[in-house]
Amino acid sequence: MPKKTKETERNNNLPEAPAREQPITETIEKNYMPYAMTVIISRALPEIDGFKPSQRKLLYTMYKMGLMTGNKVKSTNVVGQTMRLNPHGDAAIYDTLVRLTRGNETLLHPFVDSKGSWGKQYSTDMVCAASRYTECKLDKFCAELFDGIDKNAVDMVDNFDNTMKEPTLLPTTFPNILVSPNAGIAVGMACKFCSFNLAEICDGTIELLENPYTDCDKLLDIIKAPDFAGGGYLLYDRAQMLNIYKTGTGSFKLRAKYRYDKSANCIDVLQIPYSTSIELIMKSISELVKSGKVKEITDFRDETDKNGLKLTIDIKRGTDPDKLMAKLYKLTPLEDSFACNFNLIIGGAPYTLGIDGILKEWIKFRMECVKRQLTYDKAKKEDKYHLLIGLSKILLDIDKAVRIVRGTENEADVVPNLMRGFDIDEKQGEFIAEIKLRNFNKEYILNRIKEIEDLDKDIKELASIISSDAKVKKYIVKQLKTIKEKYGMPRKTEIVYNSTVDEYDDTKEVENYNCHVILTKEGYFKKNTLVSLRASDEQKFKDDDYIVCSEDCENIDSLLFFSDKAQVYKAKVDDFEPVKASLLGDYIPAKLSFDEGENVVFMKVIKKYNETDNFLFVFENGKCAKVPVSSYETKSNRKKLSNAYSDSSPIASIVFLDEDKDVFIGTDQNRAIVVNTSLISQKSTRTSQGITVLKNKKNEKTAYATERIDAVLGEDGSKGFRKNKIPAPANPFGKRINAQMKKIFRG
């Protein structure tokens, strides 16, 4: 135990410091914001050179290790050396290295030439070997990353412990940001870059350099679409792709490539979407086979070997392989989406840019690099030119130079004496003094000063390029053409137009037959086959329940259920089992998972979302809105749509209109009106409040609407609803209906 002293006893008796409450805003600003900014700027998002800091530090370390040439070295050596710049642990550094290698097959143009087992991008089970077993060196392609890095092309800063310098960016001679795929998750933002074909990117950049006003539409003709190392098919939608090129966000679909082996009656999947893995695909196929949704497959297995990826699917005899693959594309990750988010760091701040914006920013960056590199070369040539001018002066009197050197007693006086003797400066004097005695002859000096004319020409040419943006752009264009010729490759991902793709239609798998559907006031739904109705058509309901909607349909049709909470629920007729007329059927709020307290008010069978068909929404405040049926069509298979109609007033009734017709609208105080729906204009938005059709009196509300005038009146003007088993609303005219009214109501 520590020995107690008077000082420790005195400290123990001191009162505790009062706790200070720290506002949450102050906590976030002081404690969390620095961390968030570090993750955004220095970890997760790439910069204009196309690299995250971890990737840049690794490649620069390998460059300084001399791995552009020579033999491969153990990866563990590279990892250890990289920790001088990136102190985040060897595992994180090695993971970064793996992704940059040729063996991992992540990049179209790998930066690291590798040897050993490096795993595969398309597999989660095929992991890389430990760093002590693998070997690597920089690929020749990396020469384009470091061009000018030793000529002040980019800024150099101290590393984390100030023991060495590292570049803030790499002076890439091509837009690597769009050639290498990249993804990262920062704090409050993320990025996901797809890769593009190097040759197409070079052509697109050249077009922008030569014509800065080129728009995205023209760029899309040059840079046709993303290109991935894994190949596959890209489902091309020009409007969708143009949006990505303009905004930097959006998605497109990728499909696997396959071939059918007729002799073995199997399908070989040879390329899969970049965004998925072979294990995920196999798991999805396994679930489909077990559930019975795919019955055409007898077996499937992973036959990937040193020749590349291969997923073999054995199929039953008589199965159409193309139709089966269309089905698997729909139901498995053999077709997958790639979501783009071109978020990158420029000048220390994050920006989301489209293709043209990124290329323009890269051009600015590259022009600055070229100017700095050429300025460095110009300075070196000027230094040499200056020294040779001094050397040329002693050519006129070599003997004098020898006498000055021989006659100088102290070594420190040699340079000053030469400076006075030939009217040269200190640098020139040092240069002349360092010349060997054997070279103090006319032949040597003449050979050296021959370069003066060429140096003067080079200096003037470099100065003219540096001072002219147009010449700098021509310089970059020349480099890009060389890179395209040297490293350009054909596309690996094949472009397929959506119009030529056969989509799987799951309705073809549904058994189709005619049936009759019924919805009751209490929310019960029945699907009756015509056979069962012929046997017994007497419907059973709960007490005081009755039919509100009934239609003949087919089993492949769709259903829309409108609720009293301004929501519509979508379903298929096939989702419901056929029942006998003597049963109550399915309770819709429970079957379709309605919100608590929500009730169904209307049902409609939909065969096709025709623009000419409409729903007429009649509200309790006397207003009516006519909304096209096509407004309820969705591209995705959504089961629920909010804001199905206006909720500014409770719904009184919904009427389906396949054409304009007379509609009978009545109130709860025995007043009514007949309106032809052609007088009500169609609204493009579902939530339109409509127009006033029936002006309610005080404490009155619109109660019902129907297109069935006979249901309202009947033969005697009062029995229509009872005849049709529908409770009659209060007849607004009672027995006083005259012949003229009957004529109007019956059309």
Q: Crossing angle of helices 355-394/414-422, nearest 10°? A: 90
| More confidently predicted of 718 and 541 | 541
Residues 519, 477, single domain; the answer is: no
Looking at residue 8, what is its pLDDT?
A: 61
Instruction: Report yes or no on 674 lying in a domain.
Output: yes
> Which of the listed residues 458, 487, 516 is the one where a domain comes to its end?
487
Is 328 a member of any domain?
Answer: yes
**Residue 741 domain-assigned (yes or no):** yes
Q: What's residue 103's pLDDT?
A: 95
Q: Please tell me whether residues 423 and 365 are part of one structural domain.
A: yes
Tokens read off for 367: 């022009």
Asked if 510 and 455 sit in the same domain, the reply is no
* 419 neighbors 387 (Cβ within 8 angstroms): no
What's the whole-number mean pLDDT along residues 374-389?
93
In a domain, 343, yes or no: no
Q: What CATH number should be reported for the domain holding residue 282?
A: 3.30.1360.40
Beta strand 233-236 with 494-497 is: parallel
Averaged pLDDT for residues 455-471:
94
Query: What CATH number is associated with residue 77?
Result: 3.90.199.10
Burial 266-301 (b: 16+ CB within 10 A, else e): bbbbebbbbbbbbebbbebbeebbeeeebebbeebe
Q: What is the pLDDT of residue 589?
A: 92
Residue 744 binned pLDDT confidence (cut-offs 50, 70, 90): very low
Beta partners for residue 336, in sequence order: 254
| Model confidence band, residue 366 (pLDDT cutoffs 50, 70, 90) | very high
| pLDDT in the model for residue 3 | 57
Does residue 17 sit within a domain? no
Q: 109: phi > 0 → left, psi -120 to 50 → alpha, else beta; which?
A: beta
Q: What is the pLDDT of residue 16?
A: 67
Q: What is the largest CA-CA distance in the chain?
A: 144
Three-state SS at 189: coil
Q: Which two tokens stand for residue 624?
A: 């009516």
In a domain, 617, yes or no: yes
Mean pLDDT of 204-225: 95
Please write the tens of the pLDDT for every residue from 472-524. Answer: 999 999 999 999 999 999 999 999 987 677 777 665 667 788 899 999 999 99
Q: Is 699 left (phi over 0), alpha (psi -120 to 50) or beta?
A: left
| Residues of the domain holding 118 | 51-171
Residue 398 exposed, middle or buried by CB count within 10 Å (0-12, 13-18, 19+): middle
Given this model, what pLDDT does residue 737 score?
34
Selection from 667, 742, 673, 678 nearest residue 710 by Cα? 742
Do 383 and 316 share a structural domain? no
Q: What pLDDT band is residue 28 in, cutting at 50, 70 and 90?
A: confident
Taking the C-alpha atoms of residue 173 and residue 202, their distance in angstroms, rounded to an integer, is 10
Give me the residues paired with residue 235 across strands: 253, 496
Same domain as 523, residue 476: no
Task: Name the residue among 634, 520, 617, 525 with its Cα closest to residue 566.
Answer: 617
| Domain CATH code at residue 414 | 1.10.268.10
Percentage above 90 pLDDT, the chain = 58
**721 compared with 292, residue with greater pLDDT:** 292
Residue 682 belongs to domain with CATH number: 2.120.10.90
Q: pLDDT of 331-348, one tens digit each?
A: 999 999 999 999 999 999
Give the best-scoring range by mean pLDDT among 4-18, 26-40, 638-652.
638-652
Q: Among residues 129, 156, 171, which one ends one of the domains?
A: 171
Residues 6+ apart with CB under 8 A from 332: 281, 284, 285, 288
**Is residue 113 scored above 50 in pLDDT?**
yes
Q: How far is CA 647 from the centre of its chain?
A: 36
In this prediction, residue 725 has a pLDDT band, given cuts at 50, 70 and 90, of very low
Q: What are the catalytic residues?
A: 133
For residue 111, give the DSSP letter: S
Same domain, 451 and 522: no
Q: Measured between alpha carbons, how far is 360 from 204 in angstroms, rounded to an integer?
A: 11
Q: Is residue 209 part of a domain?
A: no
Q: What is the pLDDT of residues 58-105, one digit of tens each?
A: 999 999 999 999 999 999 999 999 999 998 889 999 999 999 999 999
Q: Are residues 682 and 741 in the same domain?
A: yes
pLDDT of residue 218: 94
Q: How confident is the model at residue 432 (pLDDT cuts 50, 70, 90)?
A: confident
Instruction: For residues 217-231, give the mean pLDDT.
Output: 95
Please provide the average confidence, as pLDDT, over all residues in the chain: 88
Residue 523 gets the label, from left (phi > 0), alpha (psi -120 to 50) or beta, of left
- Highest average pLDDT, of 400-409, 536-545, 591-600, 629-638, comes from 591-600
Query: How many structural domains are present in the chain?
Result: 4
**Rounded to an integer, what distance in angstroms lies between the CA atom of residue 92 and that of residue 96?**
6
Same domain membership, residue 717 and residue 577: yes
Say if 21 falls within a structural domain: no
Residue 479 and residue 563 in one domain: no
- Same domain? For 572 and 624 the reply is yes
- Could you tell me if 589 and 640 lie in one domain? yes
Cα–Cα distance between 600 and 345 in angstroms, integer? 52
Of 280, 298, 333, which one is at a domain's C-terminal end? 333
In this structure, the answer to whether residues 74 and 133 fall within a common structural domain is yes
Going by C-alpha positions, the residue among 407, 327, 370 that lies closest to residue 151 is 370
